Amino acid sequence: MTFRVEPGSLRLYAAELADASGVAEATQNYANKWGSLTPHQLGILGQVTQRHENFMEDLNETLLKLAKVLDTSSVNLRSVAATYERTDSESAAQIDSSYPTVQRPITSAGS
């Protein structure tokens, strides 16, 4: 079984998660702008049941959590990509240093 990680792919996905976090924040702003209703807009039943206000509170809380999870995941994926790169580089250097040195033939330029 082989396990292979492409740090560049992790960084691309991290960027997508960061974008999605921004989308969640924009969605929250949009919902607050257009979902906040005045008592007149809610009407008498809206004032009595408060369902819309409860919905807006739940929506804001959910979108805030979503944005935070996406942002944190993005940061951590970038860190994982850097760790894989560092580990690969260190492993390659360790393997290279274990090989005996080889005398390279000296050739003249142009031959």
For the cut 80, the answer to whether the pLDDT of residue 75 exceeds it is yes
Q: What is the pLDDT of residues 79-108, one digit of tens each?
A: 999 999 998 888 888 888 888 888 888 777
DSSP state of 82: H
With b meaning 16 or more CB within 10 Å and e meaning fewer, what string describes 50-71? Answer: eebeeeeeeeeeebeebbeebb
Tokens of 23: 């989308």
Asked if 18 contacts 70 with a C-beta cutoff of 8 angstroms, the reply is: yes
Q: What is the pLDDT of residues 16-52, one digit of tens each?
A: 999 999 999 999 999 999 988 888 888 887 777 788 8
Number of domains in the chain: 1
Exposure of 75 in the CB half-sphere (CA atoms within 13 A): 7
pLDDT at residue 109 in the model: 64
Could you count the other beta carbons within 10 Å of the beta carbon of residue 16? 13
More confident residue, 77 or 53: 77
Contacts for 34 with CB less than 8 Å, ≥ 6 apart: none
Residue 46 lies in a domain: yes
Residue 110 lies in a domain: no
- For the packed helices 51-98 and 7-35, what is the interaxial angle rounded to 10 degrees? 170
For the cut 70, the answer to whether the pLDDT of residue 110 exceeds it is no
Name the residue range of residue 36's domain: 7-83
pLDDT at residue 90 in the model: 85
Asked if 18 contacts 74 with a C-beta cutoff of 8 angstroms, the reply is: yes
Residue 1 lies in a domain: no
Residue 78 lies in a domain: yes
Residue 20 lies in a domain: yes
Please compute the mean of the pLDDT values over residues 70-78 and round it to a whole number.
Answer: 98
Residue 51 lies in a domain: yes
